[in-house]
C-alpha cells in the first residue's frame, strides 16, 4: 500500500504565503508525475500544478505566477509554495502521484487525504 500524506495547510490572510508538502510512503519502486489539485466548496476538483520525475513542471492558469512546485525524489516528496494568496484560493488541496509499487506492477494513481487552505479577506 502506498500513502500520500499532505501537510502545511491552514489559515492565512490575503497576500500571505503557505508551503504545502506531500510525502509518499509504503511500497514504492518509482513515482512518475506528482501534482497538486484543489477543490473549493461546490466546485469540481481542478489541477493546480504538476511535476514529472525529471522536473518538468505544468501550472494551471488560476494560480500561475504565484506558485512553485518542486520535488525531492530521494524523499518521495512534492512541495507547493504558494504566494500572494487570495480568498478564491480557499479550497482543500490534494496531492496526487503516479506510483509503481514493484517490478510486477504498473503505475497507478494515488491520492492524499487533502489539506485545507483558508485565505481570509
pLDDT in tens for each of the 121 residues of the chain?
A: 899 999 999 999 999 999 999 999 999 999 999 999 999 999 999 999 999 999 999 999 999 999 999 999 999 999 999 999 999 999 999 999 999 999 999 999 999 999 999 999 9
DSSP calls for 26-91: ES-SEEEEEEEEEE-TTS--EEEEEE-TT--EEE-GGGTTTEEEEEEGGGTEEEEEE-S--GGG-E
Amino acid at each position: 500500500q502506498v500513502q500520500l500524506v499532505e501537510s502545511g495547510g491552514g489559515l492565512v490572510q490575503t497576500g500571505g504565503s503557505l508551503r504545502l508538502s506531500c510525502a509518499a510512503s509504503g511500497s514504492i519502486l518509482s513515482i512518475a508525475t506528482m501534482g497538486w489539485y484543489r477543490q473549493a466548496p461546490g466546485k469540481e476538483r481542478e489541477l493546480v500544478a504538476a511535476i514529472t520525475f525529471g522536473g518538468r513542471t505544468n501550472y494551471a492558469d488560476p494560480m500561475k505566477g504565484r506558485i512553485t512546485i518542486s520535488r525531492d525524489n530521494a524523499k518521495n516528496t512534492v512541495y507547493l509554495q504558494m504566494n500572494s494568496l487570495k480568498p478564491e484560493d480557499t479550497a482543500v488541496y490534494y496531492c496526487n502521484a503516479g506510483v509503481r509499487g514493484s517490478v510486477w506492477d504498473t503505475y497507478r494513481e494515488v491520492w492524499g487525504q487533502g489539506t485545507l487552505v483558508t485565505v481570509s479577506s
